Amino acid sequence: MKKPSKRRKNQYRVIYDLFWSGNPRIYIKSIASKLHVDPRTASGIVGEAIDLGYITNPQIRRRSHANMKEYIYFLNCRDPLETYKKYSEDMNVVYHAVMIGFANLMIISKEKFNPEGDIVVEGYRSDYHFAYAPNHSWEKAIQNLQKKVQTFNAGEYEPEGTIRTRWEKIIPWDDEDEILFREFKYDLRRPFTKIMRKHLISTTKIYQWFERLPETCTVFTRYFPEGASSYDPFLFMFDTDYEDFIIDLFSELPTSTYFFKVSDKLFLSGRMPKESLRKVDLDMTNIAQLHIPLLTRELKKKGVLREEADAIFRYSWVKNL
């Protein structure tokens, strides 16, 4: 497939910024105005950017309120494929993935249960924090990362509480709220009409539901400058007393990253260029390009990280629950 032109990629970036700016349901006419094209062309470019994996639809995930909590397990199973197949039929399991690394199976469930395998980490998850993808090159991002690591001063660090937990608070959430969450979870731009007719939900209820989204859900869209398939999907687990610095640090990456906590561990999920984490050519002697492992080693030397582990996703299953 022919790669998009530089101009088209710039248009994808504009669309990402518009989705991120606080109005994920921005009108196509407004997008067309920013792109300097007609609305029909703008609609095609939006669909193309999403289909090719340069941006995602605006989406939502539940916040961590007491009546909306999710439980996460990281496991090592004897037969991860067989266990994966088993949980594909389990309606308590919202998401699960087979990985290679510190664990070979990740499970997100609505309720605690006794999964198969040896548990590496488990617990209720925090809110998600999705970082805005800065508009700079990977090379510039690595320069920024290196500079921040070199100049970090533990004595000047002040926690900001970027990631929140809301496990003690119950918020109003009825059956219609749940229906709307499932309908809009993976695409906040879906038209209202079919959903209203299908579920007999009023326009007033839908508008009220959207007004409450900042309280009930994390709203996000993601961006990948070369398309998601150009990168490896990695998950990092950090043990640190400086989580806000780690979040700020890795938010420099130009591919969208997101963060969450389970137990006392900070997790980063993101797509990385293959050469930044593992050798992909025949020259196995030059490790200078392994940017992320070298950075995490330096963070350990400086005492910012006690431990770090990572894994790469192989395949996953998502249920609209």
Nearest to 124 by CA among 165, 96, 160, 84: 165
pLDDT at residue 119, as a whole number:
97
Q: How far apart are CA 265 and CA 308, in angstroms?
A: 10
The β-bridge relationship of strands 265-272 and 257-262 is antiparallel
Q: How far apart are CA 191 and CA 240, in angstroms?
A: 43
What residues contact residue 148 under an 8 Å CB cut-off, 6+ apart?
245, 248, 249, 252
pLDDT at residue 273, as a whole number:
86
When pLDDT is averaged across residues 41-47 and rounded to a whole number, the result is 98
State the residue for tokens 């007609």.
38
pLDDT at position 1 over 70: no
pLDDT band at 286 (very low <50, low <70, confident <90, very high): very low
pLDDT at residue 92, as a whole number:
95
pLDDT band at 30 (very low <50, low <70, confident <90, very high): very high
Taking the CA atoms of residue 171, residue 132, residue 8 and residue 56 in that order, the dihedral angle to the nearest 10 degrees is -30
* DSSP per-residue letters across 44-97: HHHHHHHHTTSB---EEEE---TTS--EEEEEE-SSHHHHHHHHTT-TTEEEEE
pLDDT at position 275 over 70: no
Query: For 223-262, what is each residue's pLDDT tens digit?
Result: 999 999 999 999 999 999 999 999 999 999 999 999 999 9
Of the listed ranges 80-89, 205-214, 274-283, the least confidently predicted one is: 274-283
pLDDT at residue 170, as a whole number:
97
pLDDT at residue 93, as a whole number:
96
Percent of the chain with pLDDT over 90: 90
pLDDT at residue 188, as a whole number:
97
Q: How far apart are CA 216 and CA 36, in angstroms?
A: 35
pLDDT at position 67 over 90: yes
Exposure string for 261-274, b = 16+ CB within 10 A, e = fewer? bbeebbbbbbbbbe
- Six-digit token string for 188: 């906040």
Nearest to 106 by CA among 89, 120, 92: 120
Helices (runs of H) and strands (runs of E) counted in the chain: 11, 11
Query: For 99-129, what is each residue's pLDDT tens digit?
Result: 999 999 999 999 999 999 999 999 999 999 9
Say which DSSP state 223 is in. Answer: B
pLDDT at position 284 over 50: no
pLDDT at residue 313, as a whole number:
96
CATH of 6-55, picked from 1.10.10, 3.40.50, 2.40.160, 2.70.98, is 1.10.10
pLDDT band at 287 (very low <50, low <70, confident <90, very high): very low
pLDDT band at 321 (very low <50, low <70, confident <90, very high): confident
The chain-wide mean pLDDT, for the chain, equals: 93
**Long-range Cβ contact pairs of 109-116 (< 8 A, separation 24 or more):** 109/70, 109/71, 109/72, 109/73, 110/70, 110/71, 110/321, 111/71, 112/71, 115/73, 115/75, 115/83, 115/87, 116/75, 116/77, 116/83, 116/86
Q: Any bridge partners for residue 307, and if so which?
A: 239
Percent of the chain with pLDDT over 70: 95
Query: For 140-193, what is each residue's pLDDT tens digit?
Result: 999 999 999 999 999 999 999 999 999 999 999 999 999 999 999 999 999 999
- HEC sequence for 161-187: CCCCCCCCCCCCCCHHHHHHHHHHCCC
Residue ranges matching CATH 1.10.10 in the chain? 6-55
pLDDT at residue 282, as a whole number:
42
Asked whether the beta carbons of 19 and 26 are under 8 A apart, the reply is yes
* Run of H or E residues at 266: strand 265-272
pLDDT at residue 320, as a whole number:
84
